[in-house]
A = this chain, B = another copy of it.
Amino acid sequence: MSILVVGSVAFDSIETPAGKRERCLGGAATYFSLAASYFTQVRVIAVVGEDFTAEQEAVLTSRGVDTRGIEHASGKSFHWTGSYLKNLNEAQTLKTELNVFERFTPQIPADYRDSEFLFLANIDPSLQEQVRRQMTAVRMVCGDTMNYWISGHAKNLARVLESLDTLLINDGEAKLLGGDPNLLCAARKILSMGPKSLVVKHGEYGATAFFGQRSAIGNGGAIAPFRSPALPLAEIVDPTGAGDSFAGGFFGHLASQPAVTLKAFREAMFYGGVMGSFAVERFGTDRLQSLTRAEIDQRFSLFREMSHLE
Protein backbone atom coordinates (compact mmCIF):
# COMPACT_ATOMS: atom_id res chain seq x y z
CA MET A 1 0.00 0.00 0.00
CA SER A 2 1.17 3.53 -0.69
CA ILE A 3 1.95 6.05 2.01
CA LEU A 4 1.54 9.73 1.27
CA VAL A 5 3.72 11.94 3.47
CA VAL A 6 3.56 15.70 3.76
CA GLY A 7 6.38 17.50 5.54
CA SER A 8 9.68 19.24 5.15
CA VAL A 9 12.45 18.42 2.70
CA ALA A 10 15.27 20.64 3.83
CA PHE A 11 18.93 21.30 4.42
CA ASP A 12 20.39 20.75 7.88
CA SER A 13 23.61 22.17 9.27
CA ILE A 14 24.46 20.09 12.27
CA GLU A 15 27.09 19.98 14.98
CA THR A 16 27.41 16.96 17.26
CA PRO A 17 30.22 15.63 19.47
CA ALA A 18 31.17 13.44 16.48
CA GLY A 19 31.69 16.37 14.07
CA LYS A 20 30.07 18.99 11.93
CA ARG A 21 28.18 18.92 8.63
CA GLU A 22 26.96 21.83 6.51
CA ARG A 23 23.75 21.66 4.50
CA CYS A 24 23.13 17.90 4.52
CA LEU A 25 19.89 16.73 3.02
CA GLY A 26 17.34 16.58 5.83
CA GLY A 27 13.78 17.39 6.82
CA ALA A 28 11.10 15.22 8.44
CA ALA A 29 9.61 14.03 5.12
CA THR A 30 13.07 13.02 3.86
CA TYR A 31 13.92 10.88 6.89
CA PHE A 32 10.41 9.44 6.99
CA SER A 33 10.41 8.57 3.28
CA LEU A 34 13.81 6.93 3.27
CA ALA A 35 12.98 4.81 6.33
CA ALA A 36 9.54 3.81 5.01
CA SER A 37 10.94 3.08 1.52
CA TYR A 38 12.36 -0.23 2.79
CA PHE A 39 8.81 -1.39 3.52
CA THR A 40 6.42 0.11 0.98
CA GLN A 41 5.81 2.71 -1.76
CA VAL A 42 6.15 6.31 -0.51
CA ARG A 43 4.90 9.54 -2.11
CA VAL A 44 6.11 12.92 -0.88
CA ILE A 45 4.47 16.32 -0.77
CA ALA A 46 6.89 19.12 0.09
CA VAL A 47 8.43 22.30 -1.26
CA VAL A 48 12.09 22.97 -2.09
CA GLY A 49 13.98 25.96 -3.49
CA GLU A 50 16.32 26.47 -6.40
CA ASP A 51 19.26 25.21 -4.33
CA PHE A 52 17.76 21.70 -4.26
CA THR A 53 19.65 19.75 -6.91
CA ALA A 54 18.88 16.72 -9.04
CA GLU A 55 21.50 14.85 -7.04
CA GLN A 56 19.56 15.50 -3.83
CA GLU A 57 16.28 14.46 -5.41
CA ALA A 58 18.00 11.27 -6.58
CA VAL A 59 18.64 10.31 -2.93
CA LEU A 60 14.89 9.85 -2.68
CA THR A 61 14.12 8.52 -6.16
CA SER A 62 16.92 5.96 -6.02
CA ARG A 63 15.07 4.47 -3.04
CA GLY A 64 11.91 4.33 -5.17
CA VAL A 65 10.29 7.33 -3.46
CA ASP A 66 7.81 9.17 -5.67
CA THR A 67 8.89 12.84 -5.63
CA ARG A 68 6.41 14.22 -8.14
CA GLY A 69 4.66 15.98 -5.27
CA ILE A 70 7.76 18.00 -4.38
CA GLU A 71 7.13 21.55 -5.58
CA HIS A 72 10.14 23.49 -6.84
CA ALA A 73 9.65 27.12 -5.86
CA SER A 74 11.82 30.15 -6.52
CA GLY A 75 14.02 31.03 -3.56
CA LYS A 76 15.98 28.92 -1.11
CA SER A 77 15.03 25.65 0.59
CA PHE A 78 14.17 25.41 4.28
CA HIS A 79 17.45 25.41 6.22
CA TRP A 80 17.81 24.32 9.85
CA THR A 81 20.96 24.85 11.90
CA GLY A 82 21.27 22.95 15.14
CA SER A 83 23.70 21.67 17.71
CA TYR A 84 23.83 18.63 19.98
CA LEU A 85 27.04 19.65 21.71
CA LYS A 86 25.27 20.43 25.00
CA ASN A 87 22.84 17.52 24.97
CA LEU A 88 22.75 14.55 22.60
CA ASN A 89 19.13 13.92 23.53
CA GLU A 90 17.81 17.35 22.58
CA ALA A 91 18.74 19.53 19.63
CA GLN A 92 19.53 23.15 20.31
CA THR A 93 18.17 25.14 17.37
CA LEU A 94 20.66 27.83 16.33
CA LYS A 95 18.83 29.10 13.25
CA THR A 96 15.61 28.33 11.38
CA GLU A 97 15.41 29.75 7.86
CA LEU A 98 11.97 28.79 6.54
CA ASN A 99 12.59 30.33 3.08
CA VAL A 100 10.25 28.68 0.51
CA PHE A 101 8.52 26.81 3.34
CA GLU A 102 7.03 30.09 4.54
CA ARG A 103 4.56 30.21 1.66
CA PHE A 104 4.01 26.44 1.35
CA THR A 105 0.54 25.36 0.25
CA PRO A 106 0.49 21.59 -0.14
CA GLN A 107 -0.79 20.47 -3.56
CA ILE A 108 -1.82 16.85 -3.88
CA PRO A 109 -1.13 15.39 -7.34
CA ALA A 110 -4.11 13.47 -8.74
CA ASP A 111 -2.01 10.30 -8.86
CA TYR A 112 -1.44 10.52 -5.10
CA ARG A 113 -5.11 10.56 -4.11
CA ASP A 114 -5.51 6.81 -3.93
CA SER A 115 -2.87 6.53 -1.17
CA GLU A 116 -4.35 4.48 1.66
CA PHE A 117 -1.93 5.63 4.35
CA LEU A 118 -1.23 9.25 5.24
CA PHE A 119 1.59 10.62 7.38
CA LEU A 120 1.35 14.21 8.53
CA ALA A 121 4.92 15.07 9.51
CA ASN A 122 5.67 17.89 11.92
CA ILE A 123 4.47 21.05 10.11
CA ASP A 124 1.91 23.78 10.78
CA PRO A 125 -1.28 21.96 11.85
CA SER A 126 -3.34 24.11 9.48
CA LEU A 127 -1.36 22.59 6.59
CA GLN A 128 -1.72 19.12 8.10
CA GLU A 129 -5.48 19.67 8.20
CA GLN A 130 -5.62 20.91 4.59
CA VAL A 131 -4.00 17.69 3.40
CA ARG A 132 -5.99 15.50 5.75
CA ARG A 133 -9.31 16.91 4.51
CA GLN A 134 -8.49 16.24 0.87
CA MET A 135 -7.53 12.61 1.52
CA THR A 136 -11.00 11.27 2.16
CA ALA A 137 -10.37 7.64 1.28
CA VAL A 138 -7.36 6.90 3.50
CA ARG A 139 -7.43 3.87 5.78
CA MET A 140 -5.00 5.14 8.40
CA VAL A 141 -3.59 8.53 9.32
CA CYS A 142 -0.56 9.11 11.55
CA GLY A 143 0.77 12.46 12.59
CA ASP A 144 3.58 14.19 14.44
CA THR A 145 3.77 17.62 16.05
CA MET A 146 6.05 19.62 18.36
CA ASN A 147 6.02 21.98 21.33
CA TYR A 148 5.79 25.08 19.12
CA TRP A 149 2.41 23.99 17.65
CA ILE A 150 1.17 22.54 20.96
CA SER A 151 1.76 25.82 22.79
CA GLY A 152 0.92 28.34 20.10
CA HIS A 153 -1.52 26.70 17.69
CA ALA A 154 -3.67 24.59 19.99
CA LYS A 155 -6.97 25.16 18.17
CA ASN A 156 -5.64 24.15 14.77
CA LEU A 157 -3.82 21.21 16.29
CA ALA A 158 -7.02 20.05 18.03
CA ARG A 159 -8.73 19.64 14.64
CA VAL A 160 -5.83 17.52 13.38
CA LEU A 161 -5.82 15.36 16.51
CA GLU A 162 -9.50 14.55 16.05
CA SER A 163 -8.77 12.94 12.72
CA LEU A 164 -5.70 10.87 13.64
CA ASP A 165 -5.44 7.14 14.05
CA THR A 166 -2.03 7.43 15.67
CA LEU A 167 -0.11 10.38 17.09
CA LEU A 168 3.66 9.88 17.34
CA ILE A 169 5.44 12.32 19.65
CA ASN A 170 8.20 12.29 22.28
CA ASP A 171 7.99 12.35 26.08
CA GLY A 172 8.25 16.10 26.48
CA GLU A 173 5.67 16.76 23.81
CA ALA A 174 3.27 14.22 25.32
CA LYS A 175 3.53 15.75 28.79
CA LEU A 176 3.03 19.26 27.37
CA LEU A 177 0.09 18.26 25.16
CA GLY A 178 -1.55 16.17 27.89
CA GLY A 179 -0.85 18.84 30.51
CA ASP A 180 0.44 16.27 33.01
CA PRO A 181 3.95 15.33 34.15
CA ASN A 182 2.78 11.71 34.57
CA LEU A 183 3.07 9.95 31.21
CA LEU A 184 0.07 7.63 31.64
CA CYS A 185 -2.19 10.49 32.73
CA ALA A 186 -0.93 12.65 29.85
CA ALA A 187 -1.54 9.77 27.44
CA ARG A 188 -5.12 9.29 28.63
CA LYS A 189 -5.78 13.00 28.18
CA ILE A 190 -4.32 12.96 24.65
CA LEU A 191 -6.38 9.92 23.68
CA SER A 192 -9.48 11.83 24.81
CA MET A 193 -8.59 14.54 22.27
CA GLY A 194 -9.10 12.23 19.34
CA PRO A 195 -6.19 9.97 18.35
CA LYS A 196 -7.15 6.31 18.54
CA SER A 197 -3.64 5.46 19.66
CA LEU A 198 -0.54 7.29 20.83
CA VAL A 199 3.10 6.32 20.42
CA VAL A 200 5.46 8.12 22.79
CA LYS A 201 9.15 7.96 21.87
CA HIS A 202 11.63 7.83 24.77
CA GLY A 203 14.88 8.13 22.78
CA GLU A 204 17.44 5.67 24.15
CA TYR A 205 14.75 4.01 26.29
CA GLY A 206 12.51 2.91 23.42
CA ALA A 207 8.87 3.81 23.01
CA THR A 208 5.45 3.18 24.54
CA ALA A 209 2.13 2.82 22.72
CA PHE A 210 -1.15 3.69 24.43
CA PHE A 211 -4.50 2.68 22.99
CA GLY A 212 -7.83 4.47 23.36
CA GLN A 213 -11.25 2.91 23.61
CA ARG A 214 -11.88 3.90 19.97
CA SER A 215 -8.87 1.94 18.78
CA ALA A 216 -10.02 -0.27 15.92
CA ILE A 217 -7.31 -2.86 16.53
CA GLY A 218 -8.54 -3.82 19.99
CA ASN A 219 -12.01 -5.07 19.03
CA GLY A 220 -13.45 -2.49 21.41
CA GLY A 221 -11.75 -3.85 24.54
CA ALA A 222 -9.10 -2.06 26.58
CA ILE A 223 -5.57 -2.77 25.36
CA ALA A 224 -2.58 -2.59 27.71
CA PRO A 225 0.23 -0.21 26.79
CA PHE A 226 3.01 -1.72 24.69
CA ARG A 227 6.73 -1.04 25.19
CA SER A 228 9.33 -1.47 22.48
CA PRO A 229 13.05 -1.35 23.16
CA ALA A 230 15.82 0.81 21.75
CA LEU A 231 19.31 -0.42 20.94
CA PRO A 232 22.11 0.63 23.30
CA LEU A 233 24.67 2.25 20.97
CA ALA A 234 28.27 3.08 21.82
CA GLU A 235 28.16 6.20 19.66
CA ILE A 236 25.31 8.43 18.51
CA VAL A 237 26.91 10.21 15.55
CA ASP A 238 23.90 12.41 14.74
CA PRO A 239 20.50 12.19 16.46
CA THR A 240 18.81 14.31 13.74
CA GLY A 241 15.87 12.54 12.16
CA ALA A 242 15.72 9.65 14.64
CA GLY A 243 12.05 10.35 15.43
CA ASP A 244 11.06 10.68 11.76
CA SER A 245 12.96 7.49 10.94
CA PHE A 246 11.07 5.77 13.76
CA ALA A 247 7.82 6.98 12.20
CA GLY A 248 8.95 5.75 8.76
CA GLY A 249 9.77 2.27 10.01
CA PHE A 250 6.58 2.16 12.09
CA PHE A 251 4.17 3.32 9.40
CA GLY A 252 6.07 1.63 6.57
CA HIS A 253 5.66 -1.75 8.23
CA LEU A 254 1.97 -1.17 8.97
CA ALA A 255 1.29 -0.14 5.36
CA SER A 256 3.04 -3.27 4.12
CA GLN A 257 0.80 -5.61 6.10
CA PRO A 258 -2.53 -7.05 4.95
CA ALA A 259 -4.32 -5.55 7.96
CA VAL A 260 -3.59 -3.22 10.88
CA THR A 261 -3.78 -5.78 13.67
CA LEU A 262 -2.41 -5.51 17.19
CA LYS A 263 0.40 -7.88 16.18
CA ALA A 264 1.29 -5.71 13.16
CA PHE A 265 1.19 -2.60 15.39
CA ARG A 266 3.61 -4.18 17.87
CA GLU A 267 5.99 -5.27 15.11
CA ALA A 268 5.73 -1.74 13.69
CA MET A 269 6.92 -0.33 17.02
CA PHE A 270 9.96 -2.60 16.81
CA TYR A 271 10.67 -1.62 13.19
CA GLY A 272 10.37 2.03 14.26
CA GLY A 273 13.08 1.50 16.86
CA VAL A 274 15.19 -0.37 14.33
CA MET A 275 15.08 2.45 11.76
CA GLY A 276 15.74 5.07 14.44
CA SER A 277 18.78 3.12 15.60
CA PHE A 278 20.21 3.04 12.06
CA ALA A 279 19.51 6.74 11.44
CA VAL A 280 21.72 7.95 14.29
CA GLU A 281 24.73 5.81 13.33
CA ARG A 282 25.91 8.31 10.70
CA PHE A 283 25.44 11.96 9.80
CA GLY A 284 22.24 13.05 8.07
CA THR A 285 20.53 10.41 5.95
CA ASP A 286 23.79 8.57 5.12
CA ARG A 287 22.89 5.35 6.90
CA LEU A 288 19.28 5.30 5.68
CA GLN A 289 20.46 5.49 2.06
CA SER A 290 22.66 2.43 2.21
CA LEU A 291 20.67 -0.18 4.15
CA THR A 292 19.53 -3.57 3.01
CA ARG A 293 16.34 -5.28 4.03
CA ALA A 294 18.47 -8.11 5.43
CA GLU A 295 20.26 -5.67 7.77
CA ILE A 296 16.89 -4.32 8.90
CA ASP A 297 15.48 -7.75 9.63
CA GLN A 298 18.65 -8.81 11.40
CA ARG A 299 18.35 -5.84 13.73
CA PHE A 300 14.65 -6.59 14.20
CA SER A 301 15.70 -10.04 15.42
CA LEU A 302 18.17 -8.41 17.79
CA PHE A 303 15.39 -6.18 19.17
CA ARG A 304 13.32 -9.29 19.76
CA GLU A 305 16.19 -11.12 21.45
CA MET A 306 16.83 -8.02 23.60
CA SER A 307 13.27 -7.90 24.94
CA HIS A 308 11.73 -11.37 24.86
CA LEU A 309 11.91 -13.95 27.59
CA GLU A 310 12.52 -16.81 25.16
Residues of A within 8 A of B (CB): 88, 181-185, 187-188, 202, 204-206, 208, 210, 224-230, 232-236, 263, 266-267, 270, 302, 304-310
Contacts and interface: CB of A to CB of B under 8 A. Distances in A.
Contacts of A307: 226-229, 307-308
Given A187-B232, A232-B187, A263 B310 contact: yes
Chain A interface, DSSP helix/strand/loop, else mixed: mixed
Contacts of A224: 302, 305-306
Contacts of A204: 183
Q: Which 10 A-B pairs have the closest CB atoms?
A: A205-B205, A184-B232, A227-B229, A184-B234, A266-B309, A227-B307, A225-B232, A227-B306, A307-B307, A185-B234
A225 to B, nearest CB: 5
Contacts of A205: 202, 205-206
Given A206-B205, A227-B229, A263-B310, A234 B304 contact: no
Contacts of A183: 204, 232
A310 B304 CA distance: 11
A227 B305 CA distance: 9
Contacts of A228: 307
19 contacts: A88-B181, A182-B234, A182-B235, A183-B204, A184-B233, A187-B232, A206-B227, A210-B232, A225-B306, A227-B230, A229-B307, A263-B309, A263-B310, A266-B309, A266-B310, A267-B309, A270-B309, A307-B308, A308-B308
A43 B305 CA distance: 35
A17 to B, nearest CB: 9
A204 B236 CA distance: 23
Given A206-B227, A227-B229, A234-B184, A308 B309 contact: yes
Contacts of A310: 263, 266
Contacts of A235: 182
Contacts of A181: 88
Nearest to A181: B88
Nearest to A302: B224
A232 B208 contact: yes
A200 to B, nearest CB: 9
A102 to B, nearest CB: 37
Contacts of A266: 309-310
Given A182-B236, A227-B229, A229-B307, 14 more contacts: A182-B234, A183-B232, A206-B206, A208-B232, A224-B305, A224-B306, A225-B306, A226-B307, A227-B230, A263-B309, A266-B310, A267-B309, A304-B309, A308-B309
A181 B202 CA distance: 17
A217 to B, nearest CB: 14
Nearest to A202: B205
A9 B81 CA distance: 54
